Amino acid sequence: MPAFFCKLVPPRPTFVQDISPAEAAVMGRHALYWQERIEQGAQVFALGLVADPAGAFGVAVIEADGEATIRALTDADPAIRAGIGMRYEIHPMPRGVMHSR
């Protein structure tokens, strides 16, 4: 099954430093959404915040049957659905080694 690198790009480079209460609430729902996907069996191998000095971003490495499945997962993410300017970049990972749980 192929794996995908998913980068959650925030609306501005300073998002982590100056997040508003409304944005923080959305990101709380985002975290819960992914926790629920993992509990339901989504093959998420890495998920979290990357502290890039140029601007933090989120990352997930997910195994799925195809890009349509990944797009369905990311499109349903509350961080996207809330319309606060977040977006995903999705890249297939044609090679790699996944570990078992």
pLDDT tens per residue, range 69-98: 999 999 999 999 999 999 999 999 987 666
For each of the domains in the chain, give its residue range(s) and CATH number, in order of start: 3-93 (3.30.70.1060)
| pLDDT confidence band for 9 (50 / 70 / 90) | very high
Residue 39: what residue type?
Answer: E
Positive/negative CA dihedral, 35, 89, 62, 52: negative
Which helix (H) or strand (E) element contains residue 17? helix 15-18
Work out the mean pLDDT of the chain and round it to a whole number.
93
Share of the chain above pLDDT 90, in %: 84
Q: List, as one string, the DSSP characters of 54-79.
A: T--EEEEEEE-S-HHHHHHHHHT-HH
* Helix/strand/coil for 46: strand
Residue 48 predicted with pLDDT over 80: yes
Residue 32 predicted with pLDDT over 60: yes
pLDDT for position 94: 85
Q: Taking residues 61-68, what's their average pLDDT? A: 93
Q: Alpha-carbon Rg of the chain, whole angstroms?
A: 14
pLDDT for position 76: 97
